[in-house]
Amino acid sequence: MYSTALLIEQLSLCEVPPSDLIVSLLQDDQYASHPVVIDLVVHRAWIIEALAGHDPTNQPLRWSQKMVQNACQSELQTLSTKENQWHFNASNASAEQIEQFCLKDMALQFQSSAPLLWDLLESLLSANSCPTDPDLENPATEDANVVALNKLEEEY
């Protein structure tokens, strides 16, 4: 077992702030597979929760909201590129284009191209107050998504 006091003392003797050590380890490619870096990455949620517990201003929450917002905006921009063929002008659509439209295909492309945005939308539409953790895939939820998509496709 380690002594927290001894580790802090050693960092102080080396004049290395803990934040510098952590950031250096995470940013230097030569340590990417080092056990210390792997441990930091594996336990990131626990570390973030501990950091958030030390900030009464909710700065970590605002920071994480901004990170999610930026990621969703990026995914939405990716979805809306012409390459993804999400540009559709209903007033100029032909009967053939409307017949070929498949909501299920669109949803599957959405889910694979923008997984964070898809999870957010799913959470909002289901009014789920406790969204699932993307690291803990739930096959029942995936099955429910497929059933919901099939039902929507039948209606249209």
For 1-27, write each residue's pLDDT tens digit: 578 999 899 999 999 999 999 999 999
93: its two tokens:
């659509």
Predicted TM-score (pTM) of the model is 0.49
For 62-104, write each residue's pLDDT tens digit: 888 888 899 989 998 888 877 777 666 677 778 887 787 778 8
Q: Where are the domains of the chain?
A: 8-54, 57-124
